[in-house]
Structure 1
Amino acid sequence: MAIDPYSPCPCGSGKKLKFCCPDLAADMEKIHRMVAGDQPHAAMKHLDALMQKQPDRASLLDLRANLELSMHEFDAARKTIDHYLAKHPQNPAAHGQKAILIAATEEGTAAIGPLQDALELLDDDMPLHVFEALGSVGHALLLEGELIAGRGHLLLYAGIAPQDDNMAIKLLLRMNLQSGLPLLIRELSNPLDCPDDAPWQGEFDHASRAIGRGQWRIAEEILTSLRDKAGAEPAIVYNLALVRGWLGNIDRFAEGLHEYARIEPNEERAVEAEALAQLIDPNLEDPKLETVRIAYAIADEDALSERFAEEARLEEYPLNPDEFDEDTPRPRNSFILLDKPTPQARPDLQGDEIPRVLGFLSLFGKRTDRGAQLELTTDRDEGLEVTKSLLVDVAGDLLGELLEEEVVAEKSQSEESLSWRWRLPPRTPLDQRNRLVAEERRRAILERWTAAPRAALEGKSPQEAVGNPELRLALLASALIIEQAADDPAELPLFAELREQLELPPLASIDPTQIVDRRFSIVRVPQLEFSKLTLDQLEGFFNRATMLGANLAILLTGGEIVARADETPNIDLARVFQQLVRVDPDVARSQEWIAKARQWAEKNHRSVAEWALLDLELAIERNDSATAQHVLEELRTVHINEPGVAEETYRILYSAGLISPHETSRPTPLAMPASPTRDDAQGGSGLWTPEGESGAAPAVGSGKSAIWTP
């Protein structure tokens, strides 16, 4: 395919190829054909021949750098790009190539400067490699955990990208739906508009245009100067903080949000900004809880191993051998230490009867460089001495002298207060487990979290901050951080009780007809008066919640859309039901959504196979064999000949361990295999942590494992 002579020249000059490098058009087309035909070395050889005659030609240097980068020949690419910049320092494409190189070989934050150099040199057209640099730098920033800067770059990329280029949106969606980020961080951050009567509107608009073009360093300079002249105006302070965040300066971003929260007259916006600042401020370090490893000498490892095998307060916990490298010794045995023996499952089991995991034990045999020893990994909290005494009671005279004690990790006391470690009895029914989880989560939030110190509250706990006017904004923000993590409408009364306990005002209902702020936060959706929302507004909030992975908002808006189905019989509710079933933490409610989806599909003369398959998955998850048998019979007799149904049914059964791999190739007939003996729903080990339960994730994800490991 011939290269369009009126397309932008690859050199990044901003001119059309016809008027910039027409003599190279044929050679460029030949090189592109070689690259497309997976002949990069032949393309490079042809390019070398051209560059012997014109070693400083921008178009050729650009092609060479791009080819070397694509072949991961980074040292060669660095030499080419350095030469490119030396000969053409005002060429934005050269700076874009440098940004791509640094993002690939160093850090995304280090690539921000060269990318800004490129963007500041642009006129109206953006060269391809500057555009590509936006995506490369944004992706690198996300991988490094620089979420604010990464989102800023990818959103700019998405705003410029052609309609069929959704790479940036896919990355952002993946981050929203899979990373467990707090919802406040997933929210899109948009610059504020200038107040209508501001005398400094001209300079503010100049900064806004620079922000829209991605020229954030220029915008930062303008806004810094404007702040010095106009003072701490909310719009100036917020936008200045935002561009600093996009430039990778997270300290100044957090600092700016704290300041904006103090001066913003709208309390809801102020609280949201302060909550976001608390989440991302690297200078706010909560008081820490240490995890320690305590090593004891062992005289007789075989005798101790036998004693441990008979002890009801110890349960073997096999470790994954892949977690150990060649230089890391593997323990002979590993156990979890419980505060009490695990009871039998029964319908009236109460939370205080469930054993708590106190620590992790690793028994190491004798080696040439040291004797046998036992290692206890646990938290250094008020229960440490109790844990050590229990270990002495369990091991008896086989436990030798203390060899060493070292700190192996630290974690926030506030975040840890929202976690707990249980050993639920085998075969605990899912419904009972959910009830126990809800009860424990309530205690975690109302008792433990409110008593844990927070850096944002000047080291005080939320209980201690009650009534302190200087800490009111920070306390409101701390409460919002807890509330925004809710994913179950049934928890809303819990957060109302939390506010009452902290003497904070209850969340006021919001009349959607009075909303004029285009930045209305998704975390405020539970406050909306849903009866006053139009169907278009509901769908808008539902779509936005789905994009952000805001499960509570999905359930509330999606449930309202379903409730209005009779008002709008032509609406396609399939995607709404799919989301409701997917995100609802209550399996029983998910089955209710499936039942309604079946009714809707039948009413609209559509196949119910999709909902029958979901019904089968949920029945297996609940260990409800009667329902599973019934649904499986329906699939066999009614839907088996529909496209994909047989394959999906066997996939579900295979994933649940109900059929062996060789059985998955059979298309018919379908029959429910006998359910194997299953441990409780938390897995083979029976060790359960709230992070592993969809209905009881901690209110703030710390990214830390909930179980100690060696």
Structure 2
Amino acid sequence: MVIQQTLYFEPVSVRCFPRELPVRQIPILETKKAEVMSIDPYDPCPCNSGKKYKFCCHSIGDEVSKISHLHETHQTATALQLLDRLKKKYPEQPLSYITEAQILMAERRFEDALVPLNECLEREPDHPAAHSLLATSSFLAHGYKQSQKTIYTAFQKCAAVDVSLATPLAISIAIALQMRGYYLAAREHFALAMRVASQEYQQNLFMNLLEFDGDDQIPYQFRGVHVLERCPLEESEQQTTFEKAQRLANLGCYRSAAGLFKQLAEATGLVILWKNAAFCYAWATDEVKAAELFRQAAKLESEFAEAVELETLAQLLDLNNTAEVVNSIEKIYEVESLAKFLGLLDQHPQVLRGNVPPPQDQEETTPVAYYQILNTELDAESRGEAITLENVPTVIGDIDVFDADRQLGHKANIRLYAYEGDQLTQAEEIFADALGKDGKTECGLQEQEPESEDTGTPLSPVPTEQWPLFFRWSFPQKMPILKRRELEAEQWKVLLSKTWPETPLAGLDGKTPVEAAKDESLKVSLTAAVYVLDAQTLSLGHFLDFTELSPALEVSELPALEIDESSQFNTCSSMTQNRIPVKELSDRQLMYIFNRALLIRHPRFLYDVLIEVLSRDECKKEVDLDRVYTTLTEICHKKNQREEMLSWIHRGQENAQASQAFENELQWKMRELSFRLEDTSDPGLSDFMKEIWDKYGKKMPQIREYLKAFAQAFDLDLPWMKESSLLDTGDLAGNVSSEGIWAPGEETPEADSGSGSKLWLPGQS
């Protein structure tokens, strides 16, 4: 989002979702509706009973096809009436019950869909599709925990006839659990959906899995594969129980499997069994129990690195379920005169108007105005020369403004959000000060009660122990980006070396890291806390270098794995993978790890992998060098290693020139320009822009329009551009990205929108 008077900078982009979402917000996988009119009598019945069509629902097939067409043409009420008659006339035919349930689910009437499905199962108790749809509807209506027994029954019934019938159920659970923040459970249900899906669905499901594993807002320890380990047991009865638990887990009956693994763990005391039980409880969304068992396994684990990984999972799950959070509070107002209200806000130096944030979903109403509340005044015309860590303007609140709906008779609506405590108090004081003594009366402002306790706000709740790491800043638009990045780096240096070490952590029994460092019994827990911090900082836009931590902690990265040429890494967790000594890998192993590292994108490990790939001629032939150089550029940029970043950009340019790819070469030039623009005092910036203007602008005239926009946005004095009499700033205002760089999401004047150019430009991801 863009602030017109100031540049908005928000290093925190995590958006948390409530554990129980309104039904309308939960996506479901559409069930495949069969075309019954053309089915051969000896084909499987479209009701998915497992029987032949001739011996199941043949007599009502034509009627159901017509009814389905009515629903598709938005005649749902008529379709449901006809289905009701059909059920009474042919009560033993499952297709009418299945079709009614599918229509109701498509209308998101999940509670209503349970009725025909239960009716179907009264007549045919083992019908797999009815069980699958019943579990899906129950889950979407009541949640995972309340529907667990129904879900497990469905998985087992489908496995007995056609396991692929469980695909819609598994993927619906996976998507909804991811939105609710049950990341280990969501990832395993994506994997389950992959295991049970028919071939036609596997490609799409594989992409779901890749998107999940590549989401850097999810702790990397929760991404990637986690497998249940084999554990041969001497007693035959225990071995039989283990095999049963394994089968149940493979079917998605995770809580049932967890109970059996826990029973075996208590009897044998084996770490593997405690670990398996912990994962199964996590996959069943019982994260509190899972954390307890991960911690139990960590205490029994003799290998330090393995113990740290188990304790890290425990601490992350505890944080995911802590009640100790700083909540954002929503204040709702109605206003009679919106114009008067906006005029008052626009006059206050600490209430700054910005571009309206994009809607989070299609059903969300878009505000007509958006403001940020700052803790201090900001000199919008300055270049930020006087801004330091001590006085940097901090965003303490947000205001969304919604227009009146005259058709429904709703007044204009104002929503103020701020974090509870000092920020909320100060934000409300500034809001009141902006309106003045008589402003509330003049614009007719009235505070309203929230519609419900679960309305939620755009601001995420922050765990209390993570709150010291949380900051949101705003800067003058003319302030060099490089200066902002330097301030951010200074802030992280203070947070990691001083603030975090003195913060009490639940994972350290309430002690601070400095205190825990003096207790040898907390060595595993302290190291795990650092790896939790590693995941947190990544989600907050920074990546941790262990040297940034206070030396008093005496914490270092986990030791490298011991490997040889026969080592396989397909079952390695993401955290274990990061311990692989890449220099010791064979070329074959390195290429496998290269692809895994690009997916998880943990910057420390990924950097080492990319450097090693570039050092091996055979490996270089197998990779997209353009992607490698781009990724190295991004990593160095995040690390504020400017010189190295520019060296990788130049390597990318050389690679593009060698392949004679003009457009790719231009992309690299524009990438270099975006980084050079971070320091507008760069004496070579003007000449570099002129080189692009002369060399590339002749072949692609729209490039000159982009350069004009940059010149205006960064207030650059470019005599050669003025002399060309080409600078026209009339329609360029406002096209500045959140980093101060013009983002070509909107056309420039004279730009050829039909050119089909795939050009990468500053501001684009």
The 2-side partners of 1:240 and 1:542 are apart by 31
Partner of 1:630: 691
By how many angstroms is 1:286 displaced? 8.1
After TM superposition, the score normalised by the length of structure 1 is: 0.72
The 2-side partners of 1:163 and 1:651 are apart by 46
CA deviations on 1:246-266 (whole Å, 9 max, x unpaired) are 222222222221111111222
Q: Quick one: which amino acid aligns to residue 613 of structure 1?
A: Q
Partner of 2:589: 537
Q: Quick one: which amino acid aligns to residue 212 of structure 1?
A: N
* Within-5 A mapping of 1:572-583: 572-581=624-633
By how many angstroms is 1:479 displaced? 0.9
Q: Judging changes above 3 Å, is the alpha-carbon distance between structure 1 residues 610 and 582 closer, same or farther for their aligned structure 2 residues? A: farther
Q: Quick one: which amino acid aligns to residue 175 of structure 2?
A: H
Partner of 2:657: 602
Alignment pair present for 1:612 and 2:659? no
Partner of 2:281: 244
- Whether contact under 8 Å (2:325, 2:463) holds in the other structure is yes
Q: Quick one: which amino acid aligns to residue 213 of structure 1?
A: L
Partner of 2:92: 56
Indicate the larger mover: 619-628 or 178-187: 619-628
The 2-side partners of 1:679 and 1:62 are apart by 52
> How many residue pairs align between the two structures?
639
SS at match of 2:229: coil
The 2-side partners of 1:309 and 1:130 are apart by 55
Alignment pair present for 1:14 and 2:50? yes
By how many angstroms is 1:450 displaced? 0.7
2:493 corresponds, among 437, 442, 448, to 442
By how many angstroms is 1:546 displaced? 2.9
Partner of 1:459: 510
SS at match of 1:317: strand
By how many angstroms is 1:26 displaced? 6.0
Identity %: 21
Q: Quick one: which amino acid aligns to residue 513 of structure 1?
A: D
The 1-side partners of 2:79 and 2:371 are apart by 58
Alignment pair present for 1:270 and 2:307? yes
Root-mean-square deviation (Å): 5.6
The 2-side partners of 1:308 and 1:505 are apart by 50
The 2-side partners of 1:62 and 1:292 are apart by 44
Indicate the larger mover: 568-577 or 477-486: 568-577
Partner of 2:605: 553
Alignment pair present for 1:522 and 2:556? no
- Whether contact under 8 Å (1:342, 1:355) holds in the other structure is no
By how many angstroms is 1:437 displaced? 1.9
Alignment pair present for 1:227 and 2:279? no
The 2-side partners of 1:51 and 1:677 are apart by 63
Indicate the larger mover: 197-206 or 176-185: 197-206
CA deviations on 1:163-200 (whole Å, 9 max, x unpaired) are 44234333344444456121112233221121587874
The 2-side partners of 1:559 and 1:128 are apart by 42
CA deviations on 1:393-440 (whole Å, 9 max, x unpaired) are x99xx9xxxxxxxxx998544312223354545533233332332222
Indicate the larger mover: 567-576 or 281-290: 281-290
- Whether contact under 8 Å (1:429, 1:622) holds in the other structure is no
The 2-side partners of 1:500 and 1:478 are apart by 15
The 2-side partners of 1:156 and 1:113 are apart by 17
Q: Quick one: which amino acid aligns to residue 455 of structure 1?
A: A
Q: Quick one: which amino acid aligns to residue 535 of structure 1?
A: D
- Whether contact under 8 Å (1:31, 1:46) holds in the other structure is no
Q: Judging changes above 3 Å, is the alpha-carbon distance between structure 1 residues 132 and 146 closer, same or farther for their aligned structure 2 residues? A: same
Q: Judging changes above 3 Å, is the alpha-carbon distance between structure 1 residues 510 and 34 closer, same or farther for their aligned structure 2 residues? A: same
The 2-side partners of 1:245 and 1:493 are apart by 27
CA deviations on 1:636-674 (whole Å, 9 max, x unpaired) are 445x4xxxxx88997999899979xxxxxxxxxxx8877
Partner of 1:697: none
Partner of 1:469: 520
SS at match of 1:14: coil
By how many angstroms is 1:131 displaced? 2.3
By how many angstroms is 1:117 displaced? 0.9
SS at match of 2:470: coil
Q: Quick one: which amino acid aligns to residue 627 of structure 1?
A: F
SS at match of 1:630: helix
- Whether contact under 8 Å (1:598, 1:608) holds in the other structure is no
* Within-5 A mapping of 1:304-343: 315-318=350-353, 335-338=373-376
By how many angstroms is 1:21 displaced? 2.6
By how many angstroms is 1:677 displaced? 8.7
CA deviations on 1:254-311 (whole Å, 9 max, x unpaired) are 22211111112222122112112111226974866688999xxxxxxxxxx9999999
The 1-side partners of 2:141 and 2:535 are apart by 37
Partner of 2:254: 216
Q: Judging changes above 3 Å, is the alpha-carbon distance between structure 1 residues 529 and 137 closer, same or farther for their aligned structure 2 residues? A: closer
The 2-side partners of 1:290 and 1:106 are apart by 25
- Whether contact under 8 Å (1:428, 1:681) holds in the other structure is no
- Whether contact under 8 Å (1:99, 1:137) holds in the other structure is no
Alignment pair present for 1:184 and 2:221? yes
SS at match of 1:513: coil
Q: Judging changes above 3 Å, is the alpha-carbon distance between structure 1 residues 384 and 125 closer, same or farther for their aligned structure 2 residues? A: closer
- Whether contact under 8 Å (1:487, 1:585) holds in the other structure is no
Indicate the larger mover: 465-474 or 35-44: 35-44
Q: Quick one: which amino acid aligns to residue 315 of structure 2?
A: Q
Indicate the larger mover: 491-500 or 207-216: 491-500
SS at match of 1:318: strand
Indicate the larger mover: 33-42 or 77-86: 33-42
Q: Quick one: which amino acid aligns to residue 516 of structure 2?
A: A
Q: Quick one: which amino acid aligns to residue 548 of structure 1?
A: I
Q: Quick one: which amino acid aligns to residue 453 of structure 1?
A: P
The 2-side partners of 1:413 and 1:360 are apart by 18
The 1-side partners of 2:384 and 2:56 are apart by 81
By how many angstroms is 1:157 displaced? 0.2
The 2-side partners of 1:491 and 1:453 are apart by 22
- Whether contact under 8 Å (2:67, 2:83) holds in the other structure is no
The 2-side partners of 1:491 and 1:138 are apart by 28
Q: Judging changes above 3 Å, is the alpha-carbon distance between structure 1 residues 309 and 208 closer, same or farther for their aligned structure 2 residues? A: closer
Partner of 2:559: 508
Q: Quick one: which amino acid aligns to residue 215 of structure 1?
A: C
* Within-5 A mapping of 1:63-462: 63-72=99-108, 74=110, 76-126=112-162, 129-165=165-201, 166-178=203-215, 180-195=217-232, 200-228=238-266, 230-281=267-318, 285=322, 315-318=350-353, 335-338=373-376, 345=383, 351-352=388-389, 354-357=391-394, 411-424=462-475, 426-462=477-513
- Whether contact under 8 Å (2:377, 2:393) holds in the other structure is yes
- Whether contact under 8 Å (2:709, 2:729) holds in the other structure is no
Unaligned runs of 5+ in 2: 1-34, 332-341, 360-367, 400-415, 438-456, 678-684, 715-725, 742-765
By how many angstroms is 1:119 displaced? 1.6
- Whether contact under 8 Å (2:697, 2:703) holds in the other structure is no
By how many angstroms is 1:452 displaced? 0.9
Unaligned runs of 5+ in 1: 295-304, 325-329, 363-374, 399-407, 641-645, 660-670, 686-710
CA deviations on 1:40-70 (whole Å, 9 max, x unpaired) are 7687687667544421223443233224433
Indicate the larger mover: 233-242 or 335-344: 335-344
* Within-5 A mapping of 1:30-45: 30=65, 34=69
- Whether contact under 8 Å (2:614, 2:620) holds in the other structure is no
Q: Quick one: which amino acid aligns to residue 147 of structure 1?
A: Y
The 2-side partners of 1:323 and 1:561 are apart by 39
- Whether contact under 8 Å (2:543, 2:603) holds in the other structure is no
The 2-side partners of 1:183 and 1:132 are apart by 26
Q: Quick one: which amino acid aligns to residue 308 of structure 2?
A: V
Q: Quick one: which amino acid aligns to residue 116 of structure 2?
A: T
